[in-house]
Structure 1
Amino acid sequence: MTAPIAFRERLFVPWWGWPLPLAAAVLLAAEIHMGFPGVRSWLPYVVTVPLAVLLLWRMGSLKVEVSGGELRVGDAHVPVDLLGEVEVFDAKTKRKAMGPNLDPAAFVAHRGWVGPAVKVALEDPADPTPYWLFSVRSPEKLVAALTAAKS
């Protein structure tokens, strides 16, 4: 039986992030095509456009989840027992947290099209990572889920 999910959020590329890569895929296919008849006329479009969609879908998405006593961000996970202080950044304060105040050893999962971010300190002496800093659209709900999971 799977553990109940206290919080889950999937961060996808917004609609305005799709036209430029898709146009680039079509332009690349047109360069390969260059007016030749036969397979070389349609095959580049069949390959490059779905490949661009797949890349945008997979590389642009990020799953943030609190379930089963763990915080999961993408493929990384940590037990909530090892989490310390949680700090929420809005779009303006995130810039400073991602810039001059960023520790190079921190785990960062940033999505530029998402405004808020959450910084979660780690209290594991065996882990060299001081904290996780990641984008999330609903930071208040995440903090509430982490607080509930810890208690």
Structure 2
Amino acid sequence: MQLSATSYDERLTAPRSWWLISFLVGLSMALILLPFGTLPMLGGLVGGTAVAAVAASSYGSQRIRVVGGSLIAGEAKIPVTALGEAHVLDPEEARAWRTYKADTRAFLLLRAYIPTALRVEVTDPEDPTPYLYLSTREPERLAAAIEAARTAAAS
């Protein structure tokens, strides 16, 4: 299977249960506003649900992409030539790297609802960041896309 340098794009969407929680927040607002009448109650249901849904959508809008010889993870954009080895982390290792093994200088794109991750070493001597910790649902595919982009950039 041949991978191109633009073969990876993932949005770290919030789990479905968060949308149910958004509705429950709206329901809570409706109950709080119930003593003021039907119209405020409906406004609380719609407004509370909308605000909670926007918050869930915003938190789940972060993306990880490998595009044009760069890894773009949230706000970070790093050329793949400045990256070293990628380590696929199972749920247990991922938990260890976001807790007691974590380096405070590392870049973390962390989503606790995603159990697996990829840890990518940063080899640029000018960059104080030792590694990138990226929560991802497909760490093997992301590692392969980074390697393919690095190989394409070296050619």
Matches within 5 A, 1:56-135: 56-135=56-135
Counterpart of 1:103 in structure 2: which amino acid? D
The answer for the alignment partner of 2:9 in structure 1 is 8
**TM-score when normalising by structure 1:** 0.88
Question: Gapped runs of 5+ residues in structure 1?
Answer: none
Rounded to whole Å, the distance in 2 between the matches of 1:100 and 1:139 is 21
Contact 2:11 2:60 (8 Å CA) reproduced: no
For residues 71 and 58 of structure 1, what CA distance do their matches in structure 2 show?
Answer: 21
CA RMSD of aligned residues (A): 1.9
- TM-score normalised to structure 2 length: 0.86
**Structure 2: which amino acid aligns with 1:9?**
E
Cα distance change, pair 29–41 in 1 and its aligned pair in 2 (3 A):
closer
* 50-59 vs 20-29, which moves further: 20-29
CA deviation after TM superposition for structure 1 residue 148, in Å: 0.9
CA offset at residue 132 of structure 1? 0.6
* Aligned positions, number: 148
Shift of 1:13: 1.3
Question: What SS does structure 1 have at the residue aligned with 2:108?
Answer: strand
Write the distance in 2 (CA, Å) between the matches of 1:16 and 1:49.
Answer: 14
Give the distance between the partners of 1:97 and 1:71, measured in 2 at CA.
Answer: 20
Partners of 2:17 and 2:39 in 1: how far apart?
32
Percent sequence identity over aligned pairs: 32
Question: Residues 32-67 of structure 1: CA distance to partner in whole angstroms, max 9, x if unpaired?
Answer: x13223753332223211111111011123211101
Task: Give, in angstroms, the shift of residue 26 of structure 1.
Answer: 1.9
With over 3 angstroms needed to count, the CA separation of the structure-2 counterparts of 1:82 and 1:134, relative to structure 1, is same
Q: Which runs of 4+ in 1 moved over 3 A?
A: none
